[in-house]
Amino acid sequence: MTATDRTPSDRADVCIVGAGPAGGIVAHSLAERGHEVVVLEAGPRVPLEERLERMERHQRPAHDWTDVWDMGGDRDAYSSTGDVDYPLNRTRIKGVGGTTLHWIGYTPRLHPKDFEMESRYGLATDWPISYGDLRPYYAEAESEMGVAGSEDNPFAPPREASFPMEAFPPSHSDSILGEACEELDIDVHSVPQARNSEGYDGRSACVGYGTCTPVCPSGAKYDGSVHVRKAEEAGARVVDRAQVQRLEHGPDGERVEAAVYATPDGTEHRQEARQFVIACGAIETPRLLLLSQSETYPDGLANSSGAVGRYLMDHLLYLVTGQLPEPTGQHQVGFTTSVTHQFYDHEEETPGSFFVGFLNYAGPSPVEAALGDGGWGDDVTTAVGRSYGGHIGTEALVEQLPDPNSRVTLDDSQTDDHGNPVPDVHWTVGDYARATAEKAIQVQRDILSEAGARVDYATPDHSPLSGSHPMGTTRMGEDPAESVVDPRLRTHDLANLSIASSSVFPTGGAMNPTLTIAALSLKAAEHVDAAL
């Protein structure tokens, strides 16, 4: 087998850090325009043929979630010091394709109000761009990723064309919860998702493994490796297992000159380029900038505002599940097919935005329970027949506001496998999000109660789960004193450094962020192309 060449390219127009969906989309867009593109990715390549084995890891009790994608150890070390523990290695994946290798696949657009929080409610800040500005990029992102959806959502923002694919049909549990919502005057509709309901873009229709998180073995669910492959076909070079240690700027501090990266044997290389794009998520992006401190930027690269790492947001996730008196025969589908956005837009400032989705949930695994009790063979079969399929459940994603004290910093007491300080994630939730959560949990309980279910679990309102959607740590804005990047996604401080990531979100709304990341990545690529 030929050894992988991880030495720098002699010539590069653009160097991109990160090969997730943002990095892949930017790389593909720029390579198609004829530019010489190099992508540096900290993690390995994950061939599609390996994913079935990774799914099997997930299904075996001996393995936990992080084992599926080999997360952990010195490379992925971090600290969590906020009010709520932040399970970073369950929310991210380092590898070609990035965190979309295990995402759920939902692709809603943010609403116009999410761009106008200060103007509408006197809260947080406005984005320097509007929904209208991002609208054509949203449409392009839906086409590029392949989104299945329906125009049945009366609360959705305006759009310009139908979805690329038809929505998935409602599930059996959707009908049970939908009837309850009808009695409660709650409108129910489909949820757009980057999962093929038919063959699309050379990938098959969903074949129903039901293991969308943490792994889709068929490739029917979109992930960032799709655009990485397209970028390589267009001439881009993608170097895996090449951890970028720092960015180095020129003597005047106005331009980045090189990305310094380390290969698996510890050798450091410098990749020079005319333009640089950081696309490694809302935790590693600020960490890289902070690690790139210099005499010119003693507080971290591109950090003259002091905003690098600050304003960390996530979506609070609340689950409420229950059991019906009669078995339903519901089997795990693996993704949500029906939701309600009825509680998203609001006139008053509180409670904030949230949405409720119906889980295609069959209950706790009876196989794992039986094995844990020492059962085997017929014991497991009996347990499955007795208890599988009588449960229903809901999930809610809840909005939180940006807070400068919620942030990513460097923890000098721990180092990674190359001796760099690890990220310290200090996630602060805030009273606004907690008040909104109370409303969301009550709506979830009302739905299950109306459906005749006995609630058997509810996420405590004071101890939310992470939606696995970190955002906001290199925020976008017009004022260089208050933000890190401008509306063109270029850093205020360095003329050839752009950021494509959820880290640029000034506010986070309560919608899954990946489609917005993709739309912003297309926008960033357009601006980088113009600069070249």
pLDDT tens column, 469-479: 999 999 999 99
* Predicted pLDDT of residue 355: 97
What is the mean predicted confidence (pLDDT) over 158-178?
Answer: 94
Q: Which pLDDT band holds residue 48 (cuts at 50, 70, 90)?
A: confident
Q: 244 versus 461: which is more confidently predicted?
A: 244
pTM of the predicted structure, to 2 decimals: 0.95
How distant, in Å, are the alpha carbons of 284, 443, 501, 503 from that of 408?
9, 33, 15, 11
The pLDDT of residue 199 is above 90:
yes
Strands 338-340, 316-323: pairing is: unpaired
* Predicted pLDDT of residue 57: 86
pLDDT in tens, 298-338: 999 999 999 999 999 999 999 999 999 887 766 667 889 99
Going along the chain from its start, the domains and CATH numbers come out as 10-122+218-311+402-429+469-532 (3.50.50.60), 148-191+316-398+430-463 (3.30.410)
Q: Which pLDDT band holds residue 115 (cuts at 50, 70, 90)?
A: very high
The pLDDT of residue 372 is above 70:
no
* Predicted pLDDT of residue 382: 57
Point out the catalytic residue in the list 111, 469, 492, 527.
Answer: 469
pLDDT in tens, 222-245: 999 999 999 999 999 999 999 999
* Predicted pLDDT of residue 132: 98
* Predicted pLDDT of residue 390: 80
Cβ atoms 353, 436 nearer than 8 A: yes
* Predicted pLDDT of residue 88: 95
* Predicted pLDDT of residue 3: 72
| Helix spans in 69-130 (H) | 88-91, 117-121
* Predicted pLDDT of residue 381: 55
User: How many beta carbons lie within 10 A of that of residue 132, not counting itself?
Assistant: 11
The pLDDT of residue 171 is above 80:
yes
* Predicted pLDDT of residue 1: 46
Does residue 469 carry a catalytic annotation?
yes
Count Cβ atoms within 10 A of the Cβ of residue 392 and give its class: 0-12 exposed, 13-18 middle, 19 or more buried: buried
